[in-house]
Amino acid sequence: MVLLFLSSTEKFHVSVQDCDDNDNTVVKAVTWYKDEDSDGWYTEKQDTSESPGDGWTKNEGNGEGDGCPKDPCCHTDGLPFYEDKDTDGWYVKGSGNKCPTDVGNDSKLSRTNPNSTEDCDDGDTNLKTKNECGICTNDANEGKVTCYIDNDKDGFRNWNSTPEKQCNECKDGYTSNTERDYDDDCFKKENHFWHWATCSPDQNPTPIPDPKDKKIDDAIQKIKDDLLGHTYKIPESFALRTEKTTAALEFSDCSELVSRYLEALGVTNGVKSISTWSMTNEEGFREATGNDNISFVDGSKKSKKFVPQKGDIFVWRASNGGHTGVVTGISDDNKTIFILEALSASGSREENTFNKAQGKNRVRNSQYKVDSRALSNHAGWKGYFRPQL
C-alpha cells in the first residue's frame, strides 16, 4: 500500500491534466458548460482552463438544449414541469408548475402539454382519461344506460324508438323501460291485437300482438308441451307435485296443472303445491301460491253468461271434490270457451263430440259452452281468477 501525504501548501488536481508540470501557471484546458439555472441542461460550452464565469460548470449534466436557461422549472421545449407520479406522461390535474427539486426525481415529472394530457388516475399507468360519463376508466360504456324515447313520459318507450346510450340515467323524455307503449293515441286494441290508428304513415301498419297475450300463449304452450296427453293422477308426493323431472311430469291432476301454468307464466316463483280447497276465493288462492298476483274476476261467479279472458283460471268446488283449469281461448261469438285441463276418468258434465274425442283420465284440450254445467252452471261454481301480469 502506498500512502500519499500532501502538505497544506501543495495542490492536487484530479480532474485536470497538467501539460507542464514544471510551470504551475500552465494548465491544460477543460470543457465548461453554461447552465445558468442549474437544472442539469446547458446552453453552450467552452474549452478553457478556467471557468468562464458565473453559471458555468464542468458537469455536462443531462445534455444540451435548455429552452429556458434562466428558469429551472422548464426544459428544452420551454414548457413547465407537471407532476406525473405513475410516469405515464400524463400530468396530475391541478399540480401546476413544478420544479424538479420539488419532487426530487425527474422521472416523476411530465413536460407534456397539460392542456390535453390530464391524468385522471396518477396511480395507475393504464388509466389516463375519463370517458364520456366522467368516469376514469378504459371502458367507454361504463356509467351508460340504454334509453328509449318516451314522448308522453309515462315510463313506456315509444313503439318505434331505437336504443341509445346515455350517461348515468335517462334524460327527460326518455326511459330505460324496454316495454313498449300501447296506451297512446297511436293504437287501438281489437281481439287481443294492437292496431295502428292515428299514427303517421311511415309507421308500421302491421297488427302487434299484446305482449301479455304472448306471455299467456307461451305459458299455455309450455304446459301443453309438458303435460298434454299425460295420464290424470293425483301425485303421491310433494316432489312429484312440484318438481320438473320426467317422473314428476308423467302424471298430473287439475290443480297441479294450474300451478305449473302459473309458474310458467312467471306469476309464482316455482311450482306450488295447491288444491281446489285453497282456490275458492282470492284470499285463499293468494295465500296458497304465496303472492298477490292473482285476482278474482268480478262478476264471474254470479253471471252464468260471463265471458272470461284467455289465461283466466276457472274453479268449482263441491263437498266431494273440485276442479280447475286454464282458459286457452274464446270463440268469436263468445259462446264457447276453450279449456286446458287434467280430467279424471269420470269425465266432465259436458262430454260433447269434441271432448269425447280427446279422451278422459288425461290432460286434454276441451270445449264448453259459456254457461256449461262443467263451468258456470256447476253447483260448486266459484268463478274465474286472473293472473296479474
Query: How does strand 44-48 pair with strand 30-34?
Result: antiparallel
Task: Decide: 370 and 350 in contact? Cβ < 8 Å.
Answer: no
How much is the pLDDT for 73? 62
| Burial status of residue 82 (CB atoms within 10 A of its CB: 0-12, 13-18, 19 or more) | buried
Pick from 298, 179, 198, 315: nearest CA to 254? 315
Nearest by Cα to 308 from 274, 281, 337: 337
Q: How many CB atoms lie within 10 A of CB 290?
A: 12
Q: Which residues contact 333 (CB under 8 A, 6 or more apart)?
A: none
Question: Cα(146)–Cα(163) distance, rounded to whole angstroms?
Answer: 6
Structural domains of the chain, ranges and CATH numbers in brackets:
82-119 (no CATH), 130-209 (no CATH), 213-387 (3.90.1720.10)
Residue 249, all three cell numbers: 311430469
pLDDT tens digits, 70-99: 766 665 555 556 666 666 666 665 555 555
Average pLDDT of the segment spanning 236-261: 93
Q: Would you state the pLDDT for residue 64?
A: 78
Q: Which three cell numbers mark 215?
A: 306471455
Phi–psi pair at 315, nearest 5 degrees? -145, 130
Q: What is the CA radius of gyration of the chain?
A: 44
Question: What Cα–Cα distance (Å) separates residue 23 from each residue in 2, 4, 8, 12, 20?
Answer: 26, 22, 19, 14, 6
Section 297-315 average pLDDT: 95
- Higher-confidence residue of 97 and 350: namely 350
Cell numbers at residue 276, please?
Answer: 281446489
**Given its phi and psi angles, is residue 265 left (phi above 0), alpha (psi -120 to 50 degrees) or beta?**
alpha
| pLDDT tens track for 117-154 | 666 776 677 777 788 888 888 888 898 999 998 877 87
Q: What is the pLDDT of residues 46-59, one digit of tens each?
A: 998 888 988 899 88
Model pLDDT for residues 196-223, shown as the tens digit of each residue? 444 444 444 455 556 788 899 999 999 9
